[in-house]
Amino acid sequence: MSGANVQRPQKCILLGAGGHAQVVLEALCFTKGQEIIGVLDKNQIGLGEVFKGIPLLGDDTALEKARNIGAEFFIIGIGSTRAGPLRETLFKLARSYGLMPATVIHPHSYQAPSSSFGEGSQLLAGSLLNSNCSIGMNVIVNCGAIIEHNCKVGDHTHIASGACLCGDVQVGASSHIGARSVIIQGVKIGRGVTVGAGSVVLKDVEDFETVVGVPARVMRTEAF
């Protein structure tokens, strides 16, 4: 049998070496479509030469070095609360070096045939994209998160573990929808919004607002 049709793994650089990066690495163990050949993280400089057995190359100023060792793709391994602006900055920076965003799809996630998701997004274990929903670029749909029919999620947003977007919800770019929160059907969430963990959102949320509670109430408004 000829091996001519065997696709080689995408050679990737991982941006970030924290908890979310660990989750991404273990998801990649199942997919086999990407190979991480180096890690960049400014907080790990001087703490060791490897992260989970992978060479630490430096901080994001080492992107040129990543290209020189053969990286063609990048994956952003940062998923903390309110990290959307940083994820957006790193996404644009890596692309400026000619690297392409790799998409991570855990085999135990589900995507309806009519759903769509942008490049660089991460669909982690147990996540669900239902009928006709649309996910932007560089979005995290974390473990067990549910995105129901006809939802739209903007670029660089994080739908945290166990969160549920009911049907026809819209979420703007660079927002954070906290773990186990629920966004009721038809609600519109603006850009740069933070929804606290466990909150139930019953009405629209304006740009840059932080809402918490059941029902969710505005705690502050703070543009990044």
Annotated binding site for acetyl-CoA: 158
> Is there a cis peptide before residue 85, judged by omega within 30 degrees of 0?
no
Instruction: Report the relative pairing of strands 50-51 and 54-58 from DSSP bridges.
Output: antiparallel
Distance of alpha carbon 165 from alpha carbon 157, whole angstroms: 13
Residues of each annotated binding site for substrate: 79
What is the DSSP secondary structure assignment for residue 63, as one 8-state letter? Answer: H
Distance of alpha carbon 80 from alpha carbon 45, whole angstroms: 19
Report which secondary-structure segment, H or E, holds 29: helix 19-31
> What is the amino acid identity at position 51?
F
For 159, the 3-state DSSP assignment is strand
Residues of each annotated binding site: 79, 158
Q: Who contacts 77 (Cβ-Cβ below 8 Å, separation ≥6)? A: 14, 15, 16, 17, 18, 20, 21, 24, 25, 39
